[in-house]
Structure 1
């Protein structure tokens, strides 16, 4: 087996479907099937059984998949060490990033970093915070960028702080909020909890919510058009947004702050591209 076979086993195991695995790997299904048959012949085992719902790996097949995953990680480590031994900053930087930060901030950061270090490539995965944390715990990513409060045993650096605010197209009074339409959106559970707790501390009735949209950007567009208000972190506000903003405050009248943090393992700073990115993104947010 070689690197291609390791990736084949990893993809088939993840997809549990030959057709989907072939699509993921950008190879034909007959080619994929042939390689799987060759692997079975090489080790004289049955990798999996086909069923109506896909494929079920045998115990021996799972052992080989775990071996393939380990070998891919080992190869990745040696590639990074070899890249690190030269005079140039190069390699593939693996990032796992909160969706909201990825939407509003990440493209500009990566563009600026790429202009400074053109030989660094990016492998970026976006998701909710729990997915980001899982990625860095599993060492699938060098760096995670999360929002809110989370437990992480490695290095934690606060990147930016922002208010959570009521956004509306016209001035509103807090007292009248329970009688107004609220536009809800899918977001991270930790942010939902902060907003829900604030509401319960200030009102005895639930909000009137007739709209529940897919993301905060859609919610903001609805607010622009006077269809209601939404509660969101201030990262969603851009220079040309003409919206009224009322920051949420806690019981002590202090603004409720929403943090964005970068998480990583300190030993990864031995990789020059990781060290440079950590320094770069901190400096970027100071200006």
Structure 2
């Protein structure tokens, strides 16, 4: 077995389907089937059984998949160690990033970093904050970028602080909010709690919210078309957005802020590409 076979086993196990795995590996289904048969012959085992819904791995097959995952991880660690011993900053930087930051800011950050360190490649996964944190715990990523306050036992640094803002197409008065249409969107539960607490401190009746969309970008588009207001971190504001803004404040009159943080493990700073990225993103913002 070699690296190609390890990747094949990992992909077939993840997809539980030969056709889908072949597509993701960019090889033909007959070629994939042949390689799987060769692996079975090499170890004299049955990897899986085919069913109507896909494949079910045997106990021996699952053990071999685990071996393949370990070997891929060891090779990855060795490559990073070898690259780190040279004078150049190089390697593949694995990032796990919250969707909102990835949408509004990550492309510009990676473009600027890549200009400074052209031999660094990127492997990026985006998701909600809990997905980002889990990927760091599982060591699937070198660095995580999350928004809001989250428990993390190792290193974390704040890179941005934003106001949480009421956005509207026309100028509005705070006292009129309970009678106006609010555009809600799916977001991090922590942010929802901050906004809900602010509302309860200021109003005795719930908001009128009969528009609930998938994400903050859709909500902002609705606001731009005069369909209501939304409450969102100011990261969503772009250069040409002609929106009225009211910053949320707590009971003491201080602005309520929403922070973006970089999470990483201390030992990974030994890798030049990780160390340089952490320093770069702090300076960038």
Q: Match of 2:167?
A: 167
Matching of residues 142-157 of structure 1 within 5 Å: 142-157=142-157
Q: Match of 2:188?
A: 188
Deviation at residue 166 of structure 1 after TM alignment? 0.7
Instruction: Select between 96-105 and 239-248 the one with higher mean Cα deviation.
Output: 239-248
Which whole-Å deviations, capped at 9, do the CAs of 1:155-198 have from their partners, x for residues lacking one?
11011111111100112122211111111122222222222222
Matching of residues 43-82 of structure 1 within 5 Å: 43-82=43-82
* d(CA) in 2 for partners of 1:66, 1:200: 50
Q: Match of 1:272?
A: 272
* d(CA) in 2 for partners of 1:32, 1:241: 50
Q: Match of 1:281?
A: 281
* d(CA) in 1 for partners of 2:4, 2:210: 50
Deviation at residue 211 of structure 1 after TM alignment? 1.7
Q: Match of 1:99?
A: 99
* d(CA) in 2 for partners of 1:108, 1:30: 42
List gaps (5 residues or longer) in structure 2: none
Residue 134 in 1 paired to residue 134 in 2? yes
Provide the TM-score with structure 1 as the length reference: 0.96
Deviation at residue 54 of structure 1 after TM alignment? 1.6
Provide the TM-score with structure 2 as the length reference: 0.97
Partner SS state of residue 146, structure 2: strand
* d(CA) in 2 for partners of 1:157, 1:167: 28
Deviation at residue 239 of structure 1 after TM alignment? 2.2
List gaps (5 residues or longer) in structure 1: none
* d(CA) in 2 for partners of 1:163, 1:41: 61
* CA root-mean-square deviation: 1.2
* d(CA) in 2 for partners of 1:158, 1:11: 36
* d(CA) in 1 for partners of 2:21, 2:264: 30
Q: What is the count of residue pairs matched by the alignment?
A: 285
Deviation at residue 39 of structure 1 after TM alignment? 1.1
Deviation at residue 252 of structure 1 after TM alignment? 2.6
Q: Match of 1:35?
A: 35
Partner SS state of residue 163, structure 2: strand
Matching of residues 176-255 of structure 1 within 5 Å: 176-255=176-255
* d(CA) in 1 for partners of 2:27, 2:172: 57
Partner SS state of residue 19, structure 1: helix
Which whole-Å deviations, capped at 9, do the CAs of 1:39-94 have from their partners, x for residues lacking one?
11111111111222221111111111111111111000000011111111111111
* d(CA) in 2 for partners of 1:200, 1:61: 55
Which whole-Å deviations, capped at 9, do the CAs of 1:217-247 have from their partners, x for residues lacking one?
1211111111100010000112222211111
Instruction: Select between 125-134 and 237-246 the one with higher mean Cα deviation.
Output: 237-246
Deviation at residue 279 of structure 1 after TM alignment? 0.6
Q: Match of 1:16?
A: 16
